[in-house]
Amino acid sequence: MLLAAAAAMVVVLAARDSVARPAYQAGDRRQTMLVPLPAQAALVERILTFDRSLETHEDTTIDIVVLYQPEYRASRDAQAQLASFASTARATAWGRPIRWRFLALVGGESLAGAFAALSADAVYLTPVRAVDVRALADAAAAQKAALYSGVPDYLQHGVAVSFGVQASHPRIRINLDAARRAGADFSSQLLQLADVSRDAGRSP
């Protein structure tokens, strides 16, 4: 059912803004998530089955690391919803179980090192404030993990996959160059529905 739903969605590959670095604050409307978190989580799990780069990973699990800010309510609430989803999730991708893991964003840590320690195959970013989203995307890409988020505006700043709504239905949005920088290799089955745009600011 999820495969049929994914196939029916419009996939938009959006160009990213290579200059702007957002300074998101609490209550910023640009951080609004249009798709409910359980639906996002199910879509992330399904999209991973279209990422051929994961086929050859040697780990016994596919790990999604959720980044959140404990002191920011919107971020903390998103983490709680995803933790609830993860507690009953049983999805697999490429013959391996998908595991959700959680990492609090605190000052002074090496995110690249944390992603490596957690064997991140994908990273999901909750709404955050006073954080350079592009830096998070670069840290994830260093681990060859694409950055996902339900905040559509983050797609302009290095997030590879986000979610919006079109005609009351979920809409997958992909920044193709960001995805490729992170090593993602989405199959033509996913991308054939897309209006592909390329990032003029940076090469993959």
pLDDT of residue 145: 97
pLDDT of residue 167: 86
pLDDT of residue 30: 77
pLDDT of residue 155: 87
Q: Two tokens at 123?
A: 């990273």
Is-contact 65 103, C-beta < 8 A? yes
Q: Which residues of the chain have pLDDT under 50?
A: 1-21, 195, 200-204
Does the global pTM surpass 0.95? no
Mapped onto helix, strand or coil, the DSSP state of residue 80 is helix
Is-contact 34 152, C-beta < 8 A? yes
pLDDT of residue 65: 98
Tokens 């840290």 map to which residue? 139
Is-contact 143 115, C-beta < 8 A? yes
pLDDT of residue 53: 96
pLDDT of residue 156: 86
pLDDT of residue 120: 96
Number of helices (H), then strands (E), belonging to the chain: the values are: 7, 9
pLDDT of residue 1: 43
pLDDT of residue 204: 40
Is-contact 124 78, C-beta < 8 A? no
Q: Tell me the pLDDT tens digit for each residue of 49-69.
A: 999 999 988 889 999 999 999
CA distance 80 to 86: 10
Its CATH architecture, for the domain 2-16+25-193, is: 3-Layer(aba) Sandwich (3.40)
Q: Two tokens at 173?
A: 């949005």
Instruction: Name every residue whose Cβ is closer than 8 Å to that of residue 135 and which is 6 or more positions away in sequence.
Output: none
pLDDT of residue 3: 38
Domain limits, the chain: 2-16+25-193
Supply the mean pLDDT for the chain. 83
Is-contact 123 67, C-beta < 8 A? yes
